Amino acid sequence: MCRHLAYLGPPLTLRELLFDPPYSLVRQSWAPRDMRGGGTINADGFGVGWYPPAGGDPVRYRRAQPIWSDPTIADLAAVTSTGAVLAAVRSATVGMAVVDAAAAPFAEGQWLFSHNGVVRGWPDSVVPLAATLPVRDLLTLDATTDSALLWALVRHRLRAGLSPGPAVAETVTSVAAAAPGSRLNLLLTDGRTVVASVAGHALSVRTTPDSVLLASEPHDDDPAWREVPDGHLVTATATGLHLRPLSRPDHHRP
């Protein structure tokens, strides 16, 4: 199972966030502490998306190779400061494409998205859900993976004007109904707010008065880390955190 994280708060270098902590995302790529759901390492790709401090849409760096073997990311991380990040290391589900474009974060405009988990019965179980998407979206999926389809389903709802919380929650509940037993930990951010679903896999959160960090597993032994209970949706900004059960629909259509 992949590992992902999202950070909002005062600017940090990507190195401080992704490399330096004792159980950093980089370390989690070869020595994760929690791989419930299968897999041993996260070596099938990685991606980092960050928001430039000057404003504007996020920048991404993604590769289909282990993060530890990439010659560029460590140098880039040392000199890149940002106050909003979504990053992931990938363990591809058996049979799914291993290409740069299959590594999270997926993106459109200001949005960055990641999925930790698996859609059971792929792809047959979700054919009816895929059929609700415009054909164009299906023809332009980032990759032939469950995560890319989940992103297309969330993005379709965002494009229709749904707020990020309901867009994630509706996607999780509809996919869970179509493909029972799926693991659907999603992360979505626009650089100001992060929405995260906890559905079948772990997610921990650490807040300070001016920052929030959500991660598949804590990157250090700080007692401030809290595990989010399964079946919940988290909505967070740098200064506030809100939790609600995923099963309770909370429609805020504009």
| Residue nearest ligand GLN, CB atom distance | 2
Kindly list the strands in the beta sheet with 59-63, ordered across the sheet, starting from the edge strand earlier in the chain: 59-63, 46-50, 81-89, 3-13, 211-215, 204-208, 226-227
* The 3-state secondary structure of 97-132, one letter per residue: CCCHHHCCCEEECCEEEEEEEECCCCCHHHHHHHCC
Whole-number minimum distance, CB 187 to ligand GLN, in Å? 11
Exactly one of 6, 26, 118, 158 binds ligand GLN (CB under 6 A); that residue is 118
Strand partners, 3: 89
What's the Cα-to-Cα distance from 199 to each of 16, 111, 214, 234, rounded to whole Å? 28, 21, 14, 11
Structure tokens at 215: 């991660």
Our finding on whether 147 is near ligand GLN (CB under 6 A) is: yes
Our finding on whether 146 is near ligand GLN (CB under 6 A) is: yes
Element of type H or E holding 145: none
Stretch that binds ligand GLN, among 74-82, 113-121, 128-136, 170-178 (CB under 6 A): 113-121
Distance (Å, whole) CA 45 – CA 90: 5
Exactly one of 92, 149, 178, 188 binds ligand GLN (CB under 6 A); that residue is 92
Residue 29 or 235: which CB sits closer to ligand GLN?
Answer: 29
Kindly give the pairing relationship between strand 211-215 and strand 204-208: antiparallel
By CB neighbour count within 10 A (0-12 exposed, 13-18 middle, 19+ buried), where does 233 fall?
A: buried
Distance (Å, whole) CA 39 – CA 131: 30
Our finding on whether 142 is near ligand GLN (CB under 6 A) is: no
Residues 109 and 145: beta-carbon distance below 8 Å = no
150 is catalytic: no
Our finding on whether 102 is near ligand GLN (CB under 6 A) is: yes
Stretch that binds ligand GLN, among 5-13, 112-120, 155-163, 206-214 (CB under 6 A): 112-120
Exactly one of 1, 5, 168, 215 binds ligand GLN (CB under 6 A); that residue is 1
Our finding on whether 28 is near ligand GLN (CB under 6 A) is: no
Our finding on whether 117 is near ligand GLN (CB under 6 A) is: yes
Our finding on whether 116 is near ligand GLN (CB under 6 A) is: yes
Whole-number minimum distance, CB 101 to ligand GLN, in Å? 11
Per-residue contact track with ligand GLN, 154 to 183, x per CB under 6 A? ------------------------------
Distance (Å, whole) CA 145 – CA 51: 26
Our finding on whether 219 is near ligand GLN (CB under 6 A) is: no
Whole-number minimum distance, CB 162 to ligand GLN, in Å? 23
Whole-number minimum distance, CB 139 to ligand GLN, in Å? 20
The type of residue at 143 is A
Which residues participate in catalysis according to the annotation? 2
Binding region for ligand GLN (CB under 6 A): 1-2, 39, 90-93, 96, 102, 115-118, 145-147
